Amino acid sequence: MSKKKKSTESALNSGWDLSPAPESTGHIQLNDQYGHFINGKFVKPAKGKYFDTINPATEKKLASIAEGSKEDVNKAVKAARSAYENVWSKMPANERGKYIYRIARIMQERAREFAVIESMDGGKPIRESRDVDVPLAANHFFYYAGWADKLPYAFPNQQPQALGVAGQIIPWNFPLLMAAWKIAPALATGNTVVLKPAETTPLTAMKLAEVIQEAGLPEGVVNFVNGAGATGAAIVNHPDINKIAFTGSTGVGKIIQQAVAGTDKKVTLELGGKAANIICEDATIDQAVEGIINGIYFNQGHVCCAGSRLFVQESVYDEVLQKLKHRMESLIVGDPLDKNTDIGAINSKEQLSTINRYIKIGQEEGAEMYQSSCAVPKKGYWCRPTLFLNASQSHRIVQEEIFGPVLAIQTFRTISEVIDKANNTPYGLSAGIWTDKGSKIFNMTNKMRAGVVWANTYNKFDPTSPFGGYKESGYGREGGLHGLSSYLNFN
Amino acid sequence: MATTTKKTVSSNGQAKAARVEVLKTYKLYIGGKFPRTESGRYYSPNELGSICLSSRKDFRNAVVAARGAFGGWSGRAAFNRGQIVYRIAEMLEGRSAQFVDELMQQGATAAAAKQEVAAAIDRLIYYAGWCDKYQQIFSAVNPVASSHFNFSMLEPTGVVAMVAPENTSLLGLVSVVIPAIAGGNTCVVLASATKPLCAVSFAEVLHSSDVPGGVVNILTGKADELLEHMASHMDVNAVVYCREDAKAIEALKAEASLNMKRVHVYNKNWQKDEAQNPYMIKALQEVKTTWHPIENIGGAGSGY
């Protein structure tokens, strides 16, 4: 009996090679060079500057991308303003909705193509881009399409009106999904859009521009300007933009809040997080371990709501830790396009060095590091799933957002203690609770100072469900009925 | 019938024998199948052709089909129901010429027919959008004074028997059937007696739209024959009646008390946008309130 058990374990741990199962890239069409998408057309940048976007799993160049200047942003805002004044704001709401439905349907048709490009450009496993990012993005358009002609029901007696031109800046961790989260509600509420994709992951936005063309959206309703921080600043500071929606770091979020202080711009900020994932002694441990893994290693930990602080009740600590390490050993790190891959490539060289810096800090601070023993490819940017034991509240790896597959573990004895510890952070985006006792779930979800709380699940997203943070994780909500209001004026 | 025979001339100038049109048999739609009426009876409103005169037995068969489909359909994710209703719109758009033609056979002008079909498609899109939204408008978290998490949400009433509006062939039927199924109900609907063609063809649209068999069942025939059976059937949860026979309405309401059917009488201008709203969905929903205890220990709750 014990012999049999051992052999099963070793099979899981090492010698169990899966044949490669890479998703084909044969049907993917990418241009060598992408400019901006302004007024319904792909255009070259005013200053003619380009940078490369690479595949982080191979370090090979995928395409060169325009670097947006102030002139480019001006042009895009002008197109968006003109489309707003002349077409979009005059169109009956249900017709506007039908355009958004078209985007959703074409994205559903081209889902596989989007998934492959997303994994190539950003490094995330195809399993995630195929099953999470792309369907959620399409569903987001489908959901908000339906709101276009129903706004008075969402906001009775308030006469909801569009703002005008929305400037949107999105991150590299969920490139297409974040574009959908931004564009869909903006269009449904009658605004036009200037969006800047992240500089390391612009390709699915360029594909989305193709979809928008194919859907026949009036020119200028959605515009994409590529570029990095300076391009984003030009959007934030543009005087003819009515609304800024930003997803990214808390540091940049603070700069934006300051920059728009003297203006009438509406702002929503979806920023960093350092979520507590709390395992109570009465949790179903196997299920909780899966939740821990999903919470921190989903998308290489490049998730603002990642469950990066694990709190385990002392009485089950040994069991959780043993099972967690065992489960970590079975995670496959490698080719993002392989359907068996659990953890793909770190998004960029810069991000990898940030993660490695924190791993060093964690060790220097005295926490005990454990990494799985899996092999990683030679080329590309990789990080083994990592955890730190004996971490304490004062450690930087507990306080600061790492944005990588690094988990800091603490223990607790009482519910009161863990609530205090969990809330002791400037962030407040999300939290996770694992217990089989329903009344305890509601006690703890009530007391978490966080915008999204998952009970016996983690990293769940849905177009109907609002997402956003407390405290320095930002303000405003995206998704659901609540995601509409930040794109509307009310009487 | 609006069948015309034309002489066509082939390219070499010789007269060809005119092609004989294949006529359509108008049938019922029950449980995803297209049976004829079990009664063998037909009628021909305005000489449109032979239309099934549905019997009590046809109605009872349709209720069995609707009840059978209810569990699966009401259990679908709201998002999935939205996708399917959207698909119905796609199918109808693709076949709009046929519906325009049928409306004109039933007396509409070309312009009015086109407008009615376009309105029906847009109404489908409208309710496709509501599928995953009405819950957010009508549900509530209730701040009860005790330590409980208390919430109320909507659930579909069940099997709905319907008498569709008489004066519109397509738009009226769509306007009552779609909010019912958008909310997870299943239904048996009696088409307009004088303008039944579009109802029968709409069954074909439903059939090719991923709507599971039995979710919508369509009968043709006379309301004065079937209404009393709708009102008295013990496995029907609600009746929607869209005509103006005051005596029939009174009898329906009285008979419905047998098993407390919810009765809704609609008398709307179905062409107008006012005829569509989320309250059409809510009318066929029950409110369920759930109480769940909240433990109350730990954490002052006043932290930053």
- Residues of chain B found within 8 Å of residue A463, distances taken between Cβ atoms: 79, 132
Note whether A411 and A314 are within 8 A (CB): yes
Instruction: List the single residue in B122, B149, B303 with the smallest CB-CB distance to A420.
Output: B303
Instruction: List the single residue in A414, A415, A423 with the smallest CB-CB distance to B303.
Output: A423
Beta bridge partners of B141: B151
Q: Is B141 helix (H, G, I), strand (E, B) or coil?
A: strand
Determine contact: B122 vs chain A, CB below 8 A. Answer: yes
Asked whether the beta carbons of residue A146 and residue B128 sit closer than 8 angstroms, the reply is yes
pLDDT value of position B17: 83
- Residues of chain A found within 8 Å of residue B122, distances taken between Cβ atoms: 94
Measure in Å the smallest separation between the Cα of B139 and chain A Cα atoms: 12
Q: Residues of A39-69 as b/e, b for ≥16 C-beta within 10 angstroms? A: bbebbebbeeebeebbbbbbeeebbbbbbbb
Determine contact: A82 vs chain B, CB below 8 A. Answer: no
Mean pLDDT in each 10-residue stretch from start to end of chain B (304 residues)? 46 74 94 98 93 98 98 98 98 98 97 98 98 98 97 98 97 98 98 97 97 98 97 98 97 98 97 96 98 83 60
Q: Is B153 helix (H, G, I), strand (E, B) or coil?
A: strand
Optimal mutation site among B85, B132, B291, interface A, most CBs of chain A within 10 A? B132
- Number of CB pairs < 8 Å for A and B? 91
Determine contact: A150 vs chain B, CB below 8 A. Answer: yes
Closest of A192, A181, A252 to residue A218, by C-alpha: A192
Alpha-carbon distance of A375 to A161, in angstroms, equals 55
Written as one string, the DSSP assignment of A186-232 is HHHTT-EEEEE--TT--HHHHHHHHHHHHTTPPTTSEEE---SHHHH
The four Cα atoms A308, A309, A312, A313 give a dihedral, to 10 degrees, of -150
pLDDT value of position A17: 74
Cα-Cα-Cα-Cα dihedral sign, residues A163, A164, A169, A175? positive
Q: Which residue has the tokens 């196997």?
A: A286
- Residues of chain B found within 8 Å of residue A139, distances taken between Cβ atoms: 79
Query: Between β-strands A309-313 and A368-371, what pairing exists: parallel, antiparallel or unpaired?
Result: unpaired
Note whether A225 and A196 are within 8 A (CB): yes
Determine contact: A439 vs chain B, CB below 8 A. Answer: yes
Q: Is B231 helix (H, G, I), strand (E, B) or coil?
A: helix
Written as one string, the DSSP assignment of A307-318 is --EEEEEGGGHH
Write out pLDDT tens, residues A149-196: 999 999 999 999 999 999 999 999 999 999 999 999 999 999 999 999
pLDDT value of position A1: 38
Asked whether the beta carbons of residue B79 and residue A146 sit closer than 8 angstroms, the reply is no
Q: What is the residue type of B121?
A: I
Asked whether the beta carbons of residue A442 and residue B295 sit closer than 8 angstroms, the reply is yes
Q: Is B232 helix (H, G, I), strand (E, B) or coil?
A: helix
Determine contact: A443 vs chain B, CB below 8 A. Answer: yes
Q: Catalytic site residues of A?
A: 270, 304
Return the number of other C-beta atoms located less than 10 Å from residue B51's C-beta: 24
Which residues of chain A are modeled with pLDDT < 70? 1-16
Alpha helices in chain B (DSSP H): 56-75, 78-94, 96-105, 110-130, 134-138, 171-182, 197-207, 223-232, 246-256, 279-282
Alpha helices in A40-130 (DSSP H): 70-83, 93-109, 111-122, 126-128
Determine contact: B143 vs chain A, CB below 8 A. Answer: no
Q: Which residue has the tokens 């997303």?
A: A118
Measure in Å the smallest separation between the Cα of A374 and chain B Cα atoms: 39
Q: Is B148 helix (H, G, I), strand (E, B) or coil?
A: strand
pLDDT value of position B5: 43
Q: What are phi and psi of B270, to 5 degrees?
A: -70, -15
Measure in Å the smallest separation between the Cα of A326 and chain B Cα atoms: 33
Measure in Å the smallest separation between the Cα of B296 and chain A Cα atoms: 6
| ipTM > 0.90, yes or no | yes
